[in-house]
Amino acid sequence: MRSVHKALLKCGASAVITSNPKVISDSDGLVFPGQGACDTSMRKLREKGLDESVRKYIESGKPFLGICLGLQLLLEASDEGNEKGLGVIEGRVRRLPRGVKIPHMGWNRVAFTNLHPVFRGIPDESYFYFVHSYYADPKENSVIIGKTNYGLEFCSALALKNVISVQFHPEKSGYMGLKLYSNFLGLIVSGEQVGENWI
C-alpha cells in the first residue's frame, strides 16, 4: 500500500490510505491494491464491512482501479479458496498452470486488446512487473483490455464501465507504471466518457 500511495502522490494525487467507509465513499477515485490470499482478504474485508463499501463505491460510477489481488477479488470465486469474491465481474480466479515457475515474478509484456484511455501514451507490449500465482478468468472476453503470456495467455488487465483492474503492479513498473497511474488520475479529473463498457 505504501508503494502505491507514494506512486499516486508522485503523480500529483491527493491520496490517503484508509479503511474508513465514509472516506472511501467521498473519494473522487478509488485504488484497491492487494497482495496475499483471496480467502483471508475477503474475510478481513467482510469483518470491517469494506466489501459493501467497495461494492457501493463501484455502483456509484466513480473511477475504480484494482491492483493485483485487488483485481482477483472482483471476481465471483477463486481456485485459491472457498470464500466468495466481490462478484463485481463474472468469472473465476484460476491457478497458473503447472510447468511454469510459481509465483510468476518479474517483468513481462502486456498486449493491449482494447485501446482503453488508461493505456494512453503507453506502447503496446510494454513491460510491467508481476508477482502472482493466480490469474483472473472473466466470463466475458469483452471486459479484457490486456493479455500476458506465462504458461498460457491470461487476462492481465480488464475494464467494465468505471472499473479498471490490472494483475501487474504499476507502482513497481517504472515510468510505464507511473504513466498508467497518471492516466487513471486524468480520468478522475476529466470525467472522460470512453464507451458503454467503460467509464
Catalytic machinery residues: 68, 169, 171
β-strand 163-166 against 64-67: which pairing, if any? parallel
Q: How far is CA 117 from CA 130, 148, 162, 184, in A?
A: 21, 19, 12, 8
**The 3-state secondary structure of 117-181, one letter per residue:** HHHCCCCCCEEEEEEECEEEEECCHHHEEEEEECCCEEEEEEEECCEEEECCEHHHCHHHHHHHH
Residues 133/104, Cβ–Cβ less than 8 Å? yes
Residues near 46 by beta carbon (within 8 Å), at least 6 away in sequence: none
Phi first, then psi: give them for residue 79, nearest 5 degrees.
Answer: -65, -15
**Crossing angle, helix 2-10 and helix 174-190, to 10 degrees?**
70
